[in-house]
């Protein structure tokens, strides 16, 4: 009589026995807050990025109409920030456009003030519509115009107000989901709705972004000292790049917004770029691990993502999930603003790009 015959189990189906033995074991270790890695390993260490996000586009006409309606039901002061969150359709209820970034459309009506506060989350504003409202950041009051790229770095006090006679709308992007992922959020409100401003409009750009520095200025900041990168100043640079033939096959003639003192990204958590797609541009396919938010600033065109094609015009916002291959087409000359979490990924050594 062999050993195997001697140990023959009561149930003749070995698979069934194994399954029930495992289940019993998982239940047992579960009581100790432990779980078997081998059951989930493939989903944790994937061969390629597996995104939860989907591509999506928000038409500016819809965003403007709907946020103006919000102006009828809540004041900027009551809301603190009157913002419609652009939620990725696959991440509804999570206040995010990608897993790492928040995006929203903010409205300030004539005469309104969005009161002063500060927080650990860094923010950017990309101005879409209106003229003559201001944002005050760290004592510099800056007038906003369409296409301006404005920074509110980590812990910088900021307030906004509209002294013009038109509604002012902009795109807000914050690294809030990432800060909250680390459970490292702090925020503070100030007694006065508006901070004292000691600097003139444009001071920080003149002081730190002009090839000179105030004597003794710090040279190791993790974030740019410039508050407002105006469209009036950045847009002509794209024309110069285009004329010089410096046109990337996937991205067009593109600049990145940097900390002029170090050459690094303007913020340590979010990287923004502005690109000109020449008339008739057919971009080569591209993908990278940073899910990217785009705004059409001028012109109009399409972006192909897998089997899907998004059609964009002025101020439309769209998002490309991480590692999804995309390709821009611009039948007319167009300008695209884009922003992603690339600086965070680069700092951690996990950023990758490909065709
Ligand atoms: Fe804020």
pLDDT tens for 191-245 read 888 888 889 899 999 999 999 999 999 888 999 999 999 999 999 999 999 999 9
Q: In this structure, what token pair is assigned to residue 321? A: 């999930």
The mean pLDDT value for 113-120 works out to: 93
Q: How far apart are CA 70 and CA 314, in angstroms?
A: 22
> What local confidence, expressed as pLDDT, does residue 71 receive?
83
Query: How far, CA to CA in Å, does 311 sit from each of 165, 289, 317?
Result: 32, 23, 10
Q: How far apart are CA 107 and CA 76, in angstroms?
A: 8
Q: How far apart are CA 82 and CA 169, in angstroms?
A: 10
Residue the block writes with tokens 């509209």: 162
CA 172–ligand 1 middle distance (angstroms): 9
Q: How confident is the model at residue 13 (pLDDT cuts 50, 70, 90)?
A: confident
Q: In this structure, what token pair is assigned to residue 186? A: 């702090």
> What local confidence, expressed as pLDDT, does residue 7 receive?
57
List the beta bridge partners of residue 329: 282, 302
Residue the block writes with tokens 């691990």: 289
What single DSSP character describes residue 160?
A: E
CA 180–ligand 1 middle distance (angstroms): 15
CA 275–ligand 1 middle distance (angstroms): 27
CA 195–ligand 1 middle distance (angstroms): 13
CA 182–ligand 1 middle distance (angstroms): 19
CA 119–ligand 1 middle distance (angstroms): 7
Name the helix (H) or strand (E) containing 86. Answer: none
Provide the Cα torsion 278, 281, 284, 288; round to 10°: 50
CA 139–ligand 1 middle distance (angstroms): 15
Q: Please answer whether residues 128 and 144 qualify as being in contact, where contact means their C-beta atoms are separated by less than 8 angstroms.
A: no
Which is nearest to 184 in space by CA: 136, 232, 119, 98? Answer: 119
> What local confidence, expressed as pLDDT, does residue 196 receive?
86
CA 145–ligand 1 middle distance (angstroms): 19
CA 304–ligand 1 middle distance (angstroms): 34
List the beta bridge partners of residue 143: 134
CA 210–ligand 1 middle distance (angstroms): 28
CA 155–ligand 1 middle distance (angstroms): 9
> What local confidence, expressed as pLDDT, does residue 192 receive?
86
CA 327–ligand 1 middle distance (angstroms): 33
Q: Please answer whether residues 56 and 85 qualify as being in contact, where contact means their C-beta atoms are separated by less than 8 angstroms.
A: no
Q: In this model, does residue 271 exceed pLDDT 80?
A: yes
CA 171–ligand 1 middle distance (angstroms): 13
Q: How confident is the model at residue 2 (pLDDT cuts 50, 70, 90)?
A: very low
Provide the Cα torsion 149, 152, 158, 162; round to 10°: 20
CA 81–ligand 1 middle distance (angstroms): 8
CA 157–ligand 1 middle distance (angstroms): 8
Q: Please answer whether residues 209 and 309 qualify as being in contact, where contact means their C-beta atoms are separated by less than 8 angstroms.
A: no
> What local confidence, expressed as pLDDT, does residue 8 receive?
56
CA 30–ligand 1 middle distance (angstroms): 42
Q: How far apart are CA 272 and CA 343, in angstroms?
A: 10
Q: How far apart are CA 273 and CA 324, in angstroms?
A: 19
Q: Please answer whether residues 293 and 317 qualify as being in contact, where contact means their C-beta atoms are separated by less than 8 angstroms.
A: yes
Which is nearest to 107 in space by CA: 136, 144, 71? Answer: 71
> What local confidence, expressed as pLDDT, does residue 1 receive?
44
**Higher model confidence: residue 275 or residue 198?**
275
Q: In this model, does residue 304 exceed pLDDT 60?
A: yes
Q: How far apart are CA 144 and CA 160, in angstroms?
A: 10
Weakest-pLDDT range from 10-19, 149-158, 313-322: 10-19
């Amino acid at each position: 009589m062999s050993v195997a015959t001697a140990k023959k189990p009561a149930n003749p189906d070995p698979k069934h026995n194994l399954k029930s033995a495992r289940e019993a074991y998982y239940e047992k270790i579960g009581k100790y807050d432990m779980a078997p890695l081998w059951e989930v390993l493939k989903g944790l260490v994937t061969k390629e990025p597996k995104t939860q996000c989907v591509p999506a586009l928000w038409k500016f006409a819809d965003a403007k109409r709907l946020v103006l309606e919000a102006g009828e039901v809540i004041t900027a002061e009551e809301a603190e920030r009157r913002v419609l969150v652009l939620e990725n359709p696959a991440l509804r209820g999570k206040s995010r456009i990608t897993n790492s970034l928040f995006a929203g459309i903010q409205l300030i009506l004539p005469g309104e003030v969005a009161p002063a506060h500060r927080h650990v989350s860094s923010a950017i504003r990309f101005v879409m519509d209106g003229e003559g409202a201001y944002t005050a950041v760290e004592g510099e009051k800056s007038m906003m115009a369409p296409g301006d790229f404005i920074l509110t770095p980590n812990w910088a006090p900021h307030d906004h107000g509209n002294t013009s006679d038109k509604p002012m709308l902009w795109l807000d992007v914050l690294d809030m989901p990432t800060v909250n992922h680390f459970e490292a959020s702090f925020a503070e409100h100030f007694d006065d709705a508006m901070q004292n401003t000691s600097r003139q409009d444009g001071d920080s750009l003149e002081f730190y972004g002009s090839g000179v520095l105030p004597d003794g200025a710090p040279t190791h900041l993790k974030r740019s000292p410039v508050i407002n990168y105006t469209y009036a100043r950045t847009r002509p640079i794209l024309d110069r790049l285009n004329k010089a033939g410096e046109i990337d096959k996937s991205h067009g003639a593109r600049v990145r917004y940097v900390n002029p003192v170090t050459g690094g990204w303007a913020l340590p958590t979010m990287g923004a770029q502005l690109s000109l797609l020449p008339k008739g541009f057919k971009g080569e396919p591209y993908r990278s691990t940073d899910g990217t938010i785009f705004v059409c600033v001028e012109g109009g065109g399409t972006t192909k993502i897998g089997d899907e094609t998004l059609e964009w015009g002025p101020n439309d916002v769209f998002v490309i999930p991480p590692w999804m291959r995309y390709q821009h087409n611009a039948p007319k000359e167009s300008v695209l603003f884009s922003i992603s979490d690339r600086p965070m990924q680069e700092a951690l050594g996990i950023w990758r790009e490909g065709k």
